[in-house]
Amino acid sequence: MKLTEKQYQEYFGKKEVKQNKYHNTIIEYNNIKFDSIKEKNRYVTLKQLEDLGVIKDLKLQVKFELQPSFKYRDKTIRSINYYADFTYIQDNKLIVEDTKGYCTKEYLLKKKLLLYKYKDIEFKEIN
C-alpha cells in the first residue's frame, strides 16, 4: 500500500520543530508536541491500541506528585513531581509509561520515588 504525501505527513508527523539538549528531535503530530520521534511513535501505537479497545483512557504528560511543597525557615520549597509520558488503563490496571533514549540521574531518582509512592501502578520504560 502506498501513502500519499499528505497521508504520510498525517500518520508520521514529519513537522520537525527543534532539537533539545539530548539531541532528540522535537516533533509535532496531530497538534501535539513530542520530545522525541520515539515518543511520537509510541503515541501512535498506543492510540491504535486505544482505537482497537485493547487499552482505554490514554493520557499524555500526567503529573505525579512525589513530594509536596513545604515551608522551611520561612521559605517555600517547591514540590517534586514526575511527569509520565503516557498513562492508560489495561486489564483494569493503571499503566505508566515513559519513553527513554537516555536516562539521567534525576530521572532514575524520580522513577524510584514514583515506584515507592505509587505501588499500585505498573511501570513500563520504552527504550
Determine which of 19-23, 37-41, 54-58, 107-111 has the lowest per-residue pLDDT on average.
Answer: 19-23
Identify the CATH number of the domain in which residue 28 sits: 3.40.1350
Across the chain, what does the average pLDDT equal?
A: 88
pLDDT digits (tens, 9 = 90+) for 93-105: 999 999 987 788 9
Domain with 105 in it: 5-126
> DSSP letter string over 16-61?
EEEE-TT-PEEEEETTEEESSHHHHHHHHHHHHHHHTTSSEEEEEE
Which tens digit of pLDDT belongs to each residue from 41-85?
999 999 999 999 999 999 999 999 999 999 999 999 999 999 999
- Count of structural domains within the chain: 1
